[in-house]
């Protein structure tokens, strides 16, 4: 995104580009914020490209599993007589 500086405001074209980018960018930034906050991806735990790549892949899998679990399970308790989806 473009940024205005002292005595140099943004042009109309730069404002338009910022507006168009921001519609998609906030969705991606939420994902990175979640990864950093919940899974500690602010910095790598290992040295070396291979180990860090494996760490990122495994934490990404965990993040996707968490998203899937949040979509499947509801926070509200089941009502009386309702069928439990996990019942064996």
For the segment 14-62, what is each residue's pLDDT rounded down to a tens digit?
999 999 999 888 888 888 888 888 888 888 889 999 999 999 999 999 9
85/88 Cα distance (integer angstroms): 9
Tell if the pTM clears 0.75, that is, is over it: no
Q: Residue 73 carries which DSSP code?
A: S
Identify the three-state secondary structure at position 3.
Answer: coil
Per-residue pLDDT at 87: 53
């Amino acid at each position: 995104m473009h940024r205005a500086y002292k005595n140099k405001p943004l042009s109309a074209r730069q404002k338009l580009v910022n507006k168009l980018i921001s519609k998609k960018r906030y969705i991606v930034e939420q994902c990175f914020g979640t990864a950093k906050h919940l899974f500690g991806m602010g910095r790598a735990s290992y040295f070396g490209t291979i180990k860090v790549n494996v760490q990122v892949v495994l934490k990404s899998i965990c993040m996707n599993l968490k998203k899937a679990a949040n979509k499947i399970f509801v926070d509200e308790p089941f009502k009386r007589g309702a069928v439990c989806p996990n019942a064996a």
